[in-house]
C-alpha cells in the first residue's frame, strides 16, 4: 500500500514454525488439475531453475513462502506487493511478474475486497469484503499457475474494527487447509498501531497462535503510517509517531517468537501513504539498520552471522526515492508495498485511451470517418481496460527494477501470446479468437 512502514521477521524466517503444520513443500495438486484447466509450459513446472525446489508456479504458502522470502533476503532483492481491486488489476500484476521473470505479492485491503465483491452488495459484518477477498483469492490461485509465476497472497492493513473481516478469511483458510493441506491465503496483516502497544501485542499473539497452526504468516505494525489510504486518515499524527524505536521492535520480537517465528512487524520509519512533493516526506531507512544492530546485540550468540536477524518490509513504496529504496534493501528489506503508483498507472492508461480516441467515444454511431460509422470497437470496455493494464505493466517493470527483482526465476523472456484477438482499434488479426 502507499504506507511506508517496515515489516520484520526472524532473519531466516524459521522453517520449524511451518513444519508444525501439515502444509507440504509442494502442492499436492495444482489448481489446474483440480479444475481441469489446461496447464502447459511454465504452468506445468514443479519448480524453477534458480529457486529453492519448494517454490512453484501459483500461490505459495507455508514452507514454500518461507523459502521464497529467505531467497530474497539472501540474494538482496525485494518482492513488489501490489494492492488489487479487480481481476484486471490482478492479471496486470501477473503479466508484469512473468515479463520480469520474478515472483510477486498480490494483496487486498478491506475496501478493495469489498469493491471486488461489488459495491452493490451489503457489507454488514463485512460479508462483502470477506466474499470479495475470497473470490479474488481463487482468481489469483487459478491464474497465477497459468502465468507460471509464484505469488504470495496477502491482505493489507486490518485495524481493530476490521478484525471480523480477517476472522472470516481465516475461517475460509482453515476450511481450505482441511481439504488441501495448505491455507487459502499466504499471509495477513493486522494493524493495531493506533492501540496501546500492550493491547497490540496481546491481540497479535492470539492471532499468531491461530495462524501458525495452518502455516499463515502474520504481519503486524508498530508506529503509525502517515497520510491517507482506504478510509484511514493519519495526516495529522504527531511526527514522533511516524518513527519506531528498536526497543519496541525487540519487544514484539521477544513476545511473539515463543509462539511462532511466522510473523513480521511493520515498523514506521517516516513513511506516508500516497505521493507527495519532494521534501515533504522524510524517510529514515537507517532506523532499520539500528533495529538490526539492537536486536543482534540482544540475541548475542544466537544472532545470525550477517547481523541481520530480521527481515523488513517496506510499506508504501509509491513515490519513494530510489536512493531510499536501495538503501533499505541493504538493511534486509524483502518486500515493498505499492498502491498509489499503480492506481495512477491504471487510470493513466484509461485517460490516454480516451484522449487518443475522444472523437470516437462520444456516441455509438458517428465519428470523424463519417456520420454512419459505428464506434463499438472503441467503447468496448476491453479496449480501455487493456490500455490500463499495459500502462500498469510498464509501471510495475520500474518497481521490479528498483527492487532488483528481475531475472529471478530463471525462465527467460516471456513469449508472445498466440491465438489472441488483437485490439479492434489497432486492427484485428485474421484467425483470432471471436469476440
DSSP structure string for 269-280? BS-BSS---TTS
Q: Which cell numbers in the block locate residue 52?
A: 529453492
Average pLDDT, the chain: 87
What is d(CA 64, CA 68) in angstroms, rounded to the nearest whole number? 6
290 has pLDDT over 60:
yes
* pLDDT tens-digit readout, 209-268: 999 999 999 998 987 654 455 555 545 555 556 788 899 989 998 999 899 988 887 888
User: In terms of pLDDT, which residue wins out, 241 or 313?
Assistant: 313
Q: What does DSSP say about strands 232-234 and 79-83: parallel, antiparallel, or unpaired?
A: unpaired
Q: Which cell numbers in the block locate residue 341?
A: 503508483
Q: Which cell numbers in the block locate residue 263?
A: 510473523
Say how far residue 427 (Cα) sits from the centre of its chain: 35
Q: Which cell numbers in the block locate residue 53?
A: 525446489
Task: Of 166-170, 295-299, 382-386, 429-433, give the lowest mean pLDDT range.
Answer: 429-433
Q: Where do we find the cell 454511431?
A: 365
* pLDDT tens-digit readout, 39-61: 999 999 999 999 999 999 999 99
321 is catalytic: no
DSSP H or E stretch at residue 135: helix 127-147
**Torsions phi, psi for 152 (to 5 deg):** -95, 125
The one catalytic residue among 156, 261, 324, 402: 156
Specify the 3-state DSSP secondary structure of 131: helix
> What is the phi-psi region of residue 58: left when phi exceeds 0, alpha when psi lies from -120 to 50, beta otherwise?
left
Which of the 8 DSSP states describes residue 328? H
Q: Output the pLDDT for position 253.
A: 87
191 has pLDDT over 70:
yes
Strands, DSSP E only, in 44-124?
58-59, 79-83, 104-108
What is d(CA 140, CA 61) in angstroms, rounded to the nearest whole number? 13
Specify the 3-state DSSP secondary structure of 150: strand
Which of the 8 DSSP states describes residue 411? -
Question: With pLDDT > 90 as the criterion, what percentage of the chain qualifies?
Answer: 68
368-372 contacts at long range (C-beta below 8 A, 24 or more positions apart): none
Average pLDDT over residues 272-283: 59
What is d(CA 367, CA 357) in angstroms, rounded to the nearest whole number? 10
* pLDDT tens-digit readout, 359-391: 999 999 999 999 999 999 999 999 999 999 999
* pLDDT tens-digit readout, 95-113: 999 999 999 999 999 999 9
User: In terms of pLDDT, which residue wins out, 342 or 281?
Assistant: 342
**Torsions phi, psi for 335 (to 5 deg):** -150, 135
pTM equals 0.89
Q: Which cell numbers in the block locate residue 154?
A: 496477502
Amino acid at each position: 500500500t502507499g504506507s511506508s512502514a517496515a515489516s520484520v521477521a526472524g532473519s531466516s524466517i524459521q522453517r520449524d514454525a511451518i513444519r508444525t503444520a501439515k502444509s507440504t513443500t509442494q502442492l499436492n495438486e495444482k489448481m489446474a488439475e483440480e479444475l481441469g484447466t489446461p496447464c502447459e509450459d511454465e504452468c506445468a513446472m514443479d519448480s524453477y531453475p534458480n529457486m529453492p525446489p519448494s517454490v512453484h508456479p501459483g500461490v505459495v504458502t507455508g514452507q514454500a513462502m518461507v523459502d521464497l522470502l529467505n531467497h530474497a533476503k539472501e540474494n538482496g532483492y525485494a518482492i513488489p506487493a501490489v494492492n488489487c481491486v479487480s481481476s484486471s488489476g490482478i492479471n496486470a500484476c501477473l503479466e508484469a511478474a512473468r515479463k520480469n521473470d520474478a515472483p510477486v505479492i498480490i494483496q487486498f485491503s478491506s475496501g478493495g475486497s469489498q469493491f471486488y465483491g461489488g459495491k452493490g452488495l451489503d457489507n454488514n459484518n463485512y460479508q462483502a469484503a470477506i466474499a470479495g477477498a475470497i473470490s479474488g483469492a481463487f482468481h489469483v490461485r487459478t491464474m497465477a499457475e497459468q502465468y507460471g509465476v509464484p505469488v504470495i497472497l496477502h491482505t493489507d492493513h486490518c485495524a481493530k474494527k476490521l478484525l471480523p473481516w480477517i476472522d472470516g478469511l481465516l475461517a475460509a483458510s482453515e476450511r481450505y487447509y482441511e481439504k488441501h493441506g495448505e491455507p487459502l491465503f499466504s499471509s495477513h496483516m493486522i494493524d493495531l498501531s493506533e492501540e496501546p502497544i500492550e493491547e497490540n501485542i496481546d491481540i497479535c499473539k492470539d492471532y499468531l497462535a491461530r495462524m501458525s497452526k495452518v502455516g499463515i504468516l502474520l504481519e503486524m505494525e508498530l508506529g503509525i503510517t502517515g497520510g491517507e489510504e482506504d478510509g484511514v486518515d493519519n495526516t495529522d499524527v504527531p511526527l514522533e509517531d511516524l518513527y519506531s524505536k528498536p526497543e519496541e521492535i525487540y519487544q514484539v520480537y521477544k513476545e511473539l517468537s515463543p509462539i511462532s517465528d511466522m510473523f513480521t512487524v511493520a515498523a514506521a520509519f517516516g513513511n506516508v501513504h500516497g505521493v507527495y512533493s519532494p521534501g515533504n516526506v522524510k524517510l529514515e531507512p537507517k532506523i532499520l539498520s539500528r533495529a538490526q544492530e539492537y536486536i543482534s546485540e540482544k540475541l548475542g550468540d544466537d544472532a545470525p552471522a550477517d547481523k541481520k536477524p530480521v527481515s523488513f518490509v517496506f510499506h508504501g513504496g509509491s513515490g519513494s526515492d530510489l536512493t531510499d529504496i536501495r538503501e533499505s534493501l541493504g538493511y534486509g528489506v524483502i518486500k515493498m508495498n505499492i498502491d498509489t503508483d499503480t492506481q495512477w498507472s491504471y487510470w493513466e492508461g484509461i485517460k490516454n485511451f480516451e484522449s487518443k480516441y475522444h472523437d470516437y467515444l462520444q456516441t455509438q454511431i458517428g465519428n470523424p470517418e463519417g456520420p454512419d460509422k459505428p464506434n463499438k470497437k472503441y467503447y468496448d470496455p476491453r479496449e480501455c481496460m487493456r490500455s490500463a493494464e499495459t500502462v500498469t505493466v510498464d509501471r510495475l517493470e520500474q518497481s521490479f527494477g528498483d527492487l532488483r527483482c528481475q531475472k529471478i526465476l530463471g525462465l527467460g523472456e516471456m513469449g508472445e501470446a498466440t491465438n489472441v484477438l488483437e485490439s479492434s482499434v489497432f486492427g484485428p488479426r485474421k484467425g483470432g479468437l471471436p469476440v
